[in-house]
Every structure is written in structure tokens, then in C-alpha cells.
């Protein structure tokens, strides 16, 4: 079987990690790497460096992976989907209904892939959404205050967290949270895509800033299913991910992201979780 050719958009923490992994793996080929600023990497051959994203089709990618910024999906998502399968690493971009609609509408030949990230049980939740039996979904993320990268009111609220007391920064729709914490809630955006019968307005997101949490990021997922004889089906999981203070992305999230990239591609048109 031909090797999957991967194009990487963004050369920050995740982009560097994925580029190295692709070059090391025997089953993957690097098609291109793009960054908005010049890539200064003596070990990366010039033939891999794409200088203009509009030309990325010249590198014949099978799968394009965005690990830069949510704005990339808005600007280039439809173009990518015309060329190859597309894995959106910053799925908070899809909290804009217009972006979600344009990407779904463009995934007619190739597929749009959403990495599950720290979202446990994505496949089961997707199946329940497909059957219409998913009644409610809540995702709670608890981190040390230094691990959040927030905007507007949430930033001010988090700056005031002190002592030992955990503070709830936000509890409401995932749609409302994505623009306030775009780097922290990719997992919740993946949840909203999996739980497509509830979507970004129906899935509940909760962010808790906890000064006691110096070594972990905690992601809790609460699923509510149908009522049977007056009793609700329910599932509750808690994922404790080791992370240093100040780390926006937990250690296990890098390897989870790589697994998603390896699984992504080749499943035809439409939206897929990976
Ligand atoms: N899905 C997940 O589970 C998951 C996990 C971690 C990070 N992410 C997301 O992946 C993306 C990259 O994460 P990272 O940790 O590598 O970040 P990073 O800050 O280390 O790297 C980001 C890279 O993108 C570039 N960039 C920033 N803003 C840009 C813009 N407006 N247009 C084009 N390029 C831009 C930067 O120059 C940098 O090279 C972020 O959006 C982050 O939220 C997703």
C-alpha cells in the first residue's frame, strides 16, 4: 500500500512533534510543512517547506493536518478539502456556524477529521447521537490556573484565583466558551461534533480553575441517555492527564493527537472522528 502523505500546517509545539513523528515512521511520508513565519530548522530538508499555502496541492498530500490556529479552517478549510482529507487540530473553529457549515459542505470528495483529543468515549457518544438517544452531555475540564490561556472576562476571573479554592470560570454552552478559551477547549469542540444531535449549543461545557491541581489536567464527561422505566441511562468518566504547571496541552495529548493523525484519512466524504 502507498504511504500516506501528510501535510502539516503550523510549526509550533504540536507541528514540530508531528513532523518528527512522520519523518520517523515507516508508514508515513511528509508531503509539506507550512508555517506563517520562516521555518528555521537545519534538519528539515528544503523540499518539505511550503512557502505559500495556496500552493500546497503541488506537494500531493493525502491528509492535511492543521496545528496552527482556528482561523486556518475558516480561510483554507474548503480549499484543503478540495485537495485531500483534512484533520482540523483546532476544532474550536467549528463553533462558528458558518465555518462548520462551509466545512461540512466541502467534505463531499474527501473527509473532515476531528481528533478526539482528551475526549474519552467519543465513538460511543457519536453512536448515541446517530441513534438520537443522546439526551445530554457535559464536559468539565479542571486545570491549574497557570494552564489556562483565556480571553476577556474569563482571563480576569482566572487572574483572581488564589489560595486553595477551586473556582468555576464558566458553565454553559460549548459554543459560548470556544471564543473565550480557544486553546483550552478543543476537547469540548470535539465533543460538540461527536454529539451532533446536541451540537455546540446543546453540549454543556464547564471550566474549573483549581490552584491545588499542580500535576494534572482532569477531563470529566457526563453522558445522559434515554429514560427507561423512569431511570436514565448514564455514563461518567474522569480522565486524569499528567501535566506540569503552565502546560496548556497535557503530555498524553501529544501521543493521542499522533494516534488520531495515523487513524485519519481514507474513510471517504463526510465528518469523521479519529
Ligand atoms: N485538538 C487537540 O486536542 C489539541 C491539542 C493541543 C493543541 N491544539 C491546538 O492546535 C493548535 C497548535 O497548538 P500548539 O500547542 O502547537 O501551539 P503553538 O503556539 O506551539 O504553535 C502554533 C503555531 O501556529 C502558528 N500560528 C499562530 N497563530 C496563527 C495564525 N493566526 N495563522 C497562522 N499561523 C498561526 C504559530 O506561529 C505557531 O507556529 C492550537 O490552535 C491549539 O489550540 C489542539
Burial of 220 (C-beta count, 10 Å sphere; 0-12/13-18/19+):
middle
Q: How many structural domains are present in the chain? A: 2
Residues 233 and 265 both lie in one domain: no
How confident is the model over 130-158, as a mean pLDDT?
95
What crossing angle do the helices spanning 97-106 and 71-83 adopt, rounded to 10°? 10
The whole-number pLDDT of residue 246 equals 73
256 lines ligand 1 (CB under 6 A): no
- Give residue 241's pLDDT band: very low, low, confident or very high (50, 70, 90): confident
Residues 105 and 149 both lie in one domain: no
CA of 129 to the centre of ligand 1 (A): 29
Q: Ligand 1, residue 92: give the atom nearest the CA.
A: 43
Residues 20 and 136 both lie in one domain: no
Tell me: pLDDT of 250 over 70.
Answer: no
What domain range includes position 229?
A: 122-248
Beta strands in the chain (DSSP E): 4-9, 28-34, 63-66, 85-88, 111-114, 136-143, 167-173, 204-209, 216-228, 231-242, 270-273
**What's 9's domain CATH number?**
3.40.50.720
250 lines ligand 1 (CB under 6 A): no
Quick: pLDDT tens for 14-36: 999 999 999 999 999 999 999 99
Residues 126 and 200 both lie in one domain: yes
The whole-number pLDDT of residue 92 equals 97
Q: Ligand 1, residue 91: give the atom nearest the CA.
A: 1
Residues 231 and 258 both lie in one domain: no
CA of 234 to the centre of ligand 1 (A): 34
pTM of the entire predicted model = 0.94
Q: Ligand 1, residue 15: give the atom nearest the CA.
A: 16
The whole-number pLDDT of residue 267 equals 96
Amino acid at each position: 500500500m502507498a504511504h500516506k502523505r501528510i501535510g502539516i500546517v503550523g510549526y509550533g509545539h504540536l507541528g514540530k512533534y508531528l513532523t518528527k513523528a512522520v519523518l520517523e515512521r515507516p508508514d508515513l511520508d511528509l508531503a509539506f510543512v507550512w508555517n506563517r513565519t520562516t521555518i528555521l530548522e537545519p534538519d528539515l530538508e528544503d523540499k518539505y517547506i511550503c512557502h505559500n499555502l495556496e500552493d500546497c496541492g503541488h506537494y500531493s498530500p493525502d491528509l492535511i493536518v492543521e496545528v496552527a490556529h482556528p482561523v486556518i479552517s475558516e480561510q483554507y478549510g474548503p480549499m484543503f478539502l478540495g485537495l485531500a482529507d483534512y484533520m482540523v487540530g483546532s476544532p474550536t473553529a467549528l463553533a462558528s456556524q458558518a465555518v462548520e457549515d462551509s466545512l461540512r459542505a466541502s467534505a463531499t470528495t474527501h473527509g473532515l477529521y476531528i481528533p478526539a483529543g482528551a475526549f474519552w468515549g467519543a465513538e460511543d457518544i457519536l453512536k448515541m447521537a446517530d441513534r438520537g438517544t443522546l439526551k445530554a452531555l457535559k464536559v468539565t475540564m479542571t486545570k491549574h490556573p497557570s494552564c489556562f490561556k483565556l480571553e476577556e472576562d474569563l482571563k480576569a476571573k482566572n487572574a483572581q484565583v488564589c489560595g486553595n479554592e477551586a473556582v468555576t470560570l464558566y458553565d454553559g454552552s460549548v459554543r459560548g466558551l470556544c471564543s473565550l478559551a480557544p486553546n483550552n477547549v478543543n476537547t469540548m469542540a470535539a465533543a460538540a461534533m461527536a454529539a451532533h444531535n446536541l451540537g455546540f449549543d446543546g453540549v454543556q461545557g464547564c471550566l474549573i480553575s483549581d490552584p491545588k491541581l499542580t500535576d494534572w489536567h482532569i477531563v470529566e464527561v457526563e453522558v445522559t441517555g434515554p429514560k427507561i422505566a423512569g431511570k436514565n441511562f448514564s455514563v461518567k468518566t474522569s480522565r486524569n492527564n499528567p501535566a506540569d504547571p503552565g502546560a496548556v496541552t497535557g503530555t498524553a495529548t501529544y501521543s493521542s493527537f499522533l494516534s488520531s493523525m495515523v487513524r485519519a484519512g481514507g474513510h471517504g466524504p463526510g465528518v469523521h472522528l479519529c
